[in-house]
Structure 1
């Protein structure tokens, strides 16, 4: 979630490919195969082969499917800066869970950050000149899944699984579930009516998105393993800012002053969150 490959943004935002079971199924299939090959070549270590590991991580994998499915639907309807602002609101769920349920001490900057992120996400629907109810609906589902996924990820019971183990199980489960869901959701036959189905740009973008998505995930995990959490959060924030800025130049985006105010408020909230994490680390 640090950033998105341009090819993925092109397929979802420009071509409006609204068949997430197929698109995300392809993405996770390519990612799973590349991760498996990397494991066999000795580039990564995967240890999640026991049945107990798989069953323990299964609820998180279900949430992962929800994240990519809902995110794909939302991105096909919303401007990228708007989507990222709503995505960041998942931190409000995490902060609330830590404060109310785990009784963890939360720093004032982190609380203020959560309030700014919540205010930005809450005001966006009322100030978005390109408001799309379906897009916002799926964005809300996406951020709820992101929040719940990160809470599960930090659970003590799941700490024995490495990030690579978790992602490998996510890929395997996603491919199976999305393949099974392609027919019931209607995507399997509806895709035949997609106007760009036989265009080489569509095929090339789909292939590129699968490979670039994997390398983006892999580089993000390497970044997390080599850097302190605060430093990694700063780089991820920088990547989101670059992605939002480039998207406004490359894609058709209409932003009013009110919308820009919401986006800047969300950006300030995330910058404050990065500051609190760097200070904590």
Structure 2
């Protein structure tokens, strides 16, 4: 059992690192800044893989998903906000900056639990929340590549993350499992993002994307969709066999390892190599 937990935790960390680095590569290096198409593609791949896994008997889905769709609809709307705003923010911000702002969502949850649910909060948790807020407030003054639009979308992202987690906790006990919830999120996201791709201009603007027929772009997009699915699946499995504190520790460990790997220096060098290969191919 212990070996299984270690293997699952290692799989989760690998998927976490690979998924975020691949997304950062597509968004910042290849500059594929069409979030409705990119996130729509990711959720489409995730939904198809989850459906296939269900048909093969690898995961279980609730037979009453349709009857619970409307009840879960507000959470699905917030999920679209999370991935859309997160994509816009990650394309403009360095990975460490993005995750510092992302973590502020935990402060919103803590404040909501304290003020609305009247839950007792430990001094350690209060100190952690204060450190997160202080770090986020100092970022704009220390960020040499300050991007107002990036910070704006990061703030939208963290509010959506906080609201989504609060909504999930407020609905428990729920007849929908984590897999059921994600399946409904995938279906709604694909439909909404496909519809929004035309009003936002992404549907036709993508035709001018310089790497549209670049094999590295195709491979990265396929990898991002598959890795996002495996990250979701490994996260659900990890939460099912580990205590909340242990699961949070592994997530923190994955973020700690990812931060130095996601610096702009590494990506700027990678970007130069990509454009050199692209130029030499003509």
TM-score by length of 2: 0.86
- Tell me, yes or no, if structure 1 residue 57 matches structure 2 residue 72: yes
Q: Secondary structure at the match of 1:252?
A: helix
In structure 1, how many angstroms separate the alpha carbons of the residues matched to 2:170 and 2:63? 17
2:246 paired residue number = 231
**Alpha-carbon separation, structure 1, partners of 2:137 and 2:268:** 23
* 2:114 paired with 1:109: no
Superposed displacement of residue 218, structure 1: 0.8
Range 39-48 or range 98-107, more displaced:
39-48
| Structure 1 match to 2:221 | 206
Q: Deviations over 1:197-234 (max 9, x none)?
A: 12111111001111111111111111111111111100
Find the counterpart in structure 2 of residue 124 from structure 1. 139
* Secondary structure in 2 matching 1:154: helix
Structure 2 CA distance for partners of 1:158 and 1:14, relative to 1, 3 Å = farther
Deviations 1:157-185 (A, max 9, x none): 56321110110000000000000000000
CA distance in 1, matches of 2:63, 2:224: 26
How far apart in 1 are the matches of 2:188 and 2:96? Answer: 29
Aligned residues of 2:46 and 2:229 also touching (Cα < 8 A): yes
CA-atom RMSD in angstroms: 1.6
- 1:50 Cα shift? 4.2
The SS at the match of 2:92 is: coil
Q: Secondary structure at the match of 2:49?
A: helix
The change in CA–CA distance for 1:143 and 1:158 in structure 2 (over 3 A counts) is farther
Mapped pair 1:69 → 2:102: no
Equivalenced residues, count: 253
* 1:256 corresponds to: none
Are the equivalent residues in 1 in contact too, given 2:65–2:180 (CA < 8 A)?
Answer: no
Query: 1:48 deviation in Å?
Result: 5.6
The answer to whether the aligner puts 1:252 opposite 2:271 as a matched pair is no
Change (3 A) 1:142 1:158: farther
Checking the alignment, whether the CA contact within 8 Å between 1:152 and 1:158 is kept in structure 2 is no
Distance 1:205 1:169 in 2: 25
Paired with 1:97 and 1:24, the residues of 2 have a C-alpha distance of 29
Distance 1:158 1:169 in 2: 17
Alignment correspondent of 2:156: 141
The residue number in structure 2 matching 1:174 is: 189
Q: Which runs of 5+ in 1 are unaligned?
A: 254-281
Runs (4+) of structure 1 exceeding 6 A deviation are none
